[in-house]
Amino acid sequence: MAYFNLAAAFFVLVSMALMLGRLLLGPTLYDRILAVNSFGTKTVLFLCVFCFVIDRPDGVDIALLYALMNFIATIAVLKFFRYRALDVSLAKSHITQSDEER
Amino acid sequence: MLIQLVSSVSESATAGTPVSMADILHVLFSAFSILSILAGLFFVLGGTLGVLRLPDFFTRLHAAGMTDTLGAELIILGLVIQAGFSQMSLKLLFVAFFLLITSPTATHAVAAAAYQAGLQPLLGRYRAPEPGEETKQ
Amino acid sequence: MRFILILAAALAIYWTGLSGYFKPMLISLGIISILLVLGLVHRMKIMDGETAPYGNMHRTLYYSVWLFREIVKANVEVVKAVMSPELEVSPTLVKVPTRPTTDIGKTMFANSITLTPGTVSMEIGEKEILVHALLEPMSASEGFDEMSARSAWSVGEPLDRARLM
C-alpha cells in the first residue's frame, strides 16, 4: 500500500507542477490567484497522502493548518488588490446601510 | 498492489490455512481505498488540465472547482478507509470538511472580485482551435 | 445563552478530536482556549443562530447526501467537456432567484451553486444570484429551483412541497 500511496503523491505533485504553468502564464491577476488557491488545495492533498507514505500521523495537522491558511491568504490577497489596504472592513457597505436606516 | 494482496490470500488458501474473515475484509477495504484514490486523482488531473486548456478566466473557475470538490474528497475518503477507525481519520475528516466549506467561498470571492473589477466573461459557444489554426485572442 | 452552550460543546468536541490527550494540563489549556474564543465571539456581538448553526444538523446531513449526488453528476459532465479534444463549451450568464430568506440560507444556496462544478455564483444580491455556467444546459432554471428549495429546507426554513417537484 505504501508504494501505491507514493505513486498517488507523485501524481498530485505532477498536477501541482502543471498548475504552476497557469500561475506563470495567467493573463490576468485573477488567473494567478485562482492558480495559487488551487495549488494550495493540492498541497493539502499532497501532505495528507505523503504522511501516509512516511507513516507519521502528525502530517495531517499540518495539512489542516494549511487548508485554513490557504483560504485566509486568498481572501487577504483579493482584499489587498481591491482596496490596496488590509484594514478595511469587508462588511462596510452593510453597516452603513443599517446606520442609515436607524 | 491489489494483485499482490489477492495472491497472498490465495497462497494462504492453497497452503491449507483457512482464509479468515479479516483477510477478506482487508483486501476489500484496500480495493475500495485504491479505487477511491484513483478516481480522485483522475478528477484532480482533469481539473488541472481544464485550468490549462479552457479559454478564459471564468471558465477556468469551473475546472478548479472540480479539483476542489470531488477530487479532494475522493482522495481523502480513500485515505480515511486506509486509516481505519482512528484519530487520524477524524483529522482527515476535519480536513475534508474545511475544504468543503472554504473552497467554494474562495472560488466565489475570486469570481466576484474579478467581475466587479470589470473582467468581462467570454459568452456563447466556444471550440478549441484546430492545431494549424491561428489562435484568436 | 443557548447558542453559547452549543458553540462551547462544538469547540470542546473539536479540541478533543484534534488533541487526543487527556492529561490535566492539556485539558485545562483546552478549556482556557475555548473560554478565549467564547469571549472573543461575545465581544464581537455576533452570537446568534448563524454563529452556531448546529440546530438543524440532521437536515443538513440529509441535504449534503443529495448535494453529493448532484456534484458527482455535474463533475462527470464537466470532465467530459474538458477532456474532449474539441473542448466544446458554451459559457452562459444567468440570474437565479433565491428562495432562502435568512443570511445563512443564502450562503448555503450560493455555496451549493459554487460547489457544483459547472456553475459558479458571481454576485449575490437581495433577491437573485448571478450565476456563470460552463455549459448551457446547466443554466436551466428547474435545477436551481429544486436546489434553492432544498437548501432553504436544510437550514431550518419551512418546507414548500409545491416547489420541491
Encode pLDDT of B37-81 as tens digits. Answer: 999 999 999 889 888 888 888 888 888 887 777 889 999 999 999
Q: What's the confidence (pLDDT) of residue A44?
A: 92
Predicted confidence band of residue B9 (pLDDT cuts 50, 70, 90): low
pLDDT in tens, C92-119: 888 888 877 777 888 888 888 888 888 8
What's the rounded Cα separation, in Å, for the pair A43 and A24?
A: 18
Q: What's the confidence (pLDDT) of residue B137?
A: 42
Q: What's the confidence (pLDDT) of residue C107?
A: 84
Q: What is the mean pLDDT of residues A41-59?
A: 89
C-alpha closest to that of A15 among A51, A48, A40: A40
Q: What's the confidence (pLDDT) of residue C51?
A: 63
Contact C147, C113 (CB under 8 A): yes
Which CB contacts under 8 angstroms, 24+ apart, belong to B79-86?
B79/A48, B79/A49, B79/A52, B79/B33, B79/B37, B81/B29, B81/B32, B81/B33, B81/B36, B82/A1, B82/A5, B82/A52, B82/B29, B82/B30, B82/B33, B83/A52
| DSSP character at residue C79 | H
Interface of C with B in 40-99 (CB under 8 A): 71-72, 75, 78-79, 82-83, 85-93
Q: Which residue has the higher pLDDT, C139 or A77?
A: A77
Q: Which of A3, A34, A45 has the CB atom closest to B72's CB atom?
A: A45
Contact B29, B45 (CB under 8 A): no
- The SS3 of residue A67 is helix
Q: Chain B residues within 8 A (CB-CB) of chain C?
A: 42-43, 46-47, 49-50, 53-56, 58-59, 61-63, 65-66, 69-70, 87, 90-91, 94, 100-101, 103-105, 107-108, 111-112, 115-116, 121-128
| Buried-state track B95-108, b at ≥16 Cβ within 10 A, e below 16 | bbebbbebbbbbbb
pLDDT beyond 60 at B28: yes
What is the least distance, in Å, from the CA of A98 to any CA of chain B?
23
Q: In this predicted complex, what is the ipTM? A: 0.80
Predicted confidence band of residue B136 (pLDDT cuts 50, 70, 90): very low
pLDDT beyond 50 at A94: no
Please name the helix (run of DSSP H) or strand (run of DSSP E) that holds residue C138, with its range, or none.
none
pLDDT in tens, A29-47: 888 999 999 999 999 999 9
Q: What's the confidence (pLDDT) of residue C42?
A: 84
A66 phi/psi in degrees, rounded to 5:
-65, -35
